[in-house]
Amino acid sequence: GLSAFLAIYWTIVKEMLTNCDN
């Protein structure tokens, strides 16, 4: 469903932001 896609997408985005912060 859409919620599952958003959960995966948001996880990737947060990891990207964490990598940029580091």
- Per-residue pLDDT tens digits of the chain, which is 22 residues long: 899 999 999 999 999 999 877 6
**Token couple for 1:** 């469903």
User: Which amino acid is present at 12?
Assistant: I
pTM: 0.47
**DSSP for residue 16:** H
User: Which amino acid is present at 10?
Assistant: W
Q: What is the pLDDT of residue 11?
A: 96
